Structure formats: C-alpha cells, structure tokens
Amino acid sequence: MPQTEELDKLLAAIRTAFDVEFEPLRVDESTLEVLTIRNMQEHLDGLLQRRAIRDPLKDLPLWAKIWPGSFVLGRLLRKYEPDGKSLLELGAGCGILSMVAARYGFARIVLSDIVEDALRFARANVLRNNLQNQVEVRRVDVTAPSRDPRFGEGFDLIAASEILYLDELHRPLLKFLGRHLAPGGKALFCTDLARPKPHFTRLAAKSFKVTEGRVGVKSRDEGGEEQRRVYSILILERA
C-alpha cells in the first residue's frame, strides 16, 4: 500500500477516537512532525465519566505524551557506533526515541509497545516523517515467556525511556533482555530521578554488568516555565 494511502487510512481510524493533528517538533538541526491529541482534556474527562481509569499508570494515555527522556536517550545512542547495528525500543509510545535514533545509521530499528493506540500513533508518525524504510512498528510484550521468533539474531541495542515505573515488570524485562540481546549487546534505560528505581538496578546487577550515569537537561513544563530535570541512565551489559 502506498505510504500516503496507508497514512490516510490510519488517520481515519485514529480520528474515530481522538481529535488529532501533526505538530512540528524541533530536534537538533531538523524537525519531526508528531501526531498530537488536541482534545486531551476532553478525552480525559470522557475516561473519568466512563469510570475507565482504574490504574492511572495503565489507563491514562501516557503513551501520547512527549517525554524529555526520549531525547536524552535518543541522542546518547549515537555514541554507540550505531552504523550497521540493530536497535529495539521498548514501551515506545508515540515513537520519539526511535525517530530521533533513525538518523544515526542503524541498520534496523524496531519501535514497539503493547498498547494498540500507541502503535497506531507511532506508525502514523513513522509514515508522516517518511521513516518507514528505517523503522518497523511492532507489538512486543516483554512478559512473554519465550524468545520472540521475529528477533532470532537478537539486538545490538535495546533502549527504553520511562519504562521502569511498573515494579512488576522488572523481572520479566530482565529475562527478556537475556533472551533478546545479541552477544556483546547493551540495554539502555532512561528514567527521571524524580521516579528512581533502585530495586531494578540491584536486580539487574545479578545478571548484567550495570553502569549508571546522570544527565541534566533543561525543559519547559506545560505552563511554559523552564525547569531542570536530572535523568538516570542505566547501561546493562552481559556479565
């Protein structure tokens, strides 16, 4: 199916549930166009009226938010000699990290999530930015008990931003890494230090060599006020 036709059909499906538009997002020397929910408050009000929010972390459309950590981690990936390597992004949401990384020369990028709406938004973003030949959009569940046959050779890099907030995900995630990292591969996790997860770090150290660094960045909140955030970068390597 031609790119424009697929994008038009995808947007038509998305607009049955969301009022959306593409907005420009400046990234370094280029601009991405990112699909944005215009009626977010109305959408949230509808969820509240339907009593559809039982667990805010799982039921709210956090996947639609552009998280600053995605830029922090996306830019860090270029330091890992990406030319010719493979990258899997977990919990990608709308796909910012993968789209930032796409310019760095990875031979294969797989952008993944388990939320169908997130995958639709991510696919729309990939198509809109003409990245469909570089970035695959796939449903990947890290809690699955066996190796995913689609990824037989494993990945040189597995990356995720703000994915560690669910404690029950930690053990399955580490098992997933053990099955899907290629020999010599690394996993990188970026987490706002306002939401630290030392338990994950201790657990990971039992199976991987763990290195932790910190990156400070300036950003603006929804009110336009400048704020400084500090992010933890965890790098896991096979022990």
Q: What is the rounded radius of gyration, in angstroms, for the C-alpha atoms of the chain? A: 18
Report if residue 51 sits inside a domain: no
Q: Give the pLDDT score at 2.
A: 66
Number of domains in the chain: 1
pLDDT, tens digit, 9 for 90 and up, residues 174-183: 999 999 999 9
Strands 20-27 and 30-37 turn out to be: antiparallel
Segments forming the whole domain that contains residue 152:
66-238
Q: What angle, 0 to 180 degrees and rounded to 10, lies between the N-to-C axes of helices 3-14 and 116-128?
A: 140
Cβ contact 177:170 at 8 Å:
no
**Position 65 pLDDT exceeds 90:** no
Q: Is residue 232 part of a domain?
A: yes
SS3 of residue 5 by DSSP:
helix
DSSP 8-state secondary structure symbol assigned to residue 81: -
Pairing of strands 20-27, 108-113: unpaired
Q: How confident is the model at residue 48 (pLDDT cuts 50, 70, 90)?
A: low
Cα–Cα dist 161/24, whole Å: 21
Q: What is the CATH number of the domain that holds 117?
A: 3.40.50.150
**What is the DSSP code (8-state) at residue 145?**
S
Q: What is the pLDDT of residue 99?
A: 95
If 0-12 CB within 10 Å is exposed, 13-18 middle and 19+ buried, where does residue 145 land? exposed
Of the candidates 191, 184, 113, 118, which has an alpha carbon nearest to the alpha carbon of residue 153? 184
Tell whether 2 is covered by a domain.
Answer: no
Secondary element (H or E) of residue 201: helix 198-204
Mean pLDDT of the chain: 89
Residue 173 is assigned to a structural domain of this protein: yes
Task: Determine the Cα–Cα distance for residues 179 and 171; give it in Å rounded to an integer.
Answer: 13
Alpha helices by DSSP H, listed for 51-144, are 56-59, 68-76, 96-101, 116-128
42 within a domain of the structure (yes/no): no
Residue 32 domain flag: no
- What would the DSSP string read from start to end of 30-68? EEEEEEEETTHHHHHHHHHHTT--SSHHHHS-GGGS--H
120 within some domain:
yes
pTM of structure: 0.90
- Say if 28 falls within a structural domain: no
- How does pLDDT run across 134-172, given as a tens digit for each residue? 999 999 999 999 999 999 889 999 999 999 988 999 999
How many angstroms separate the CA atoms of 159 and 173, rounded? 12
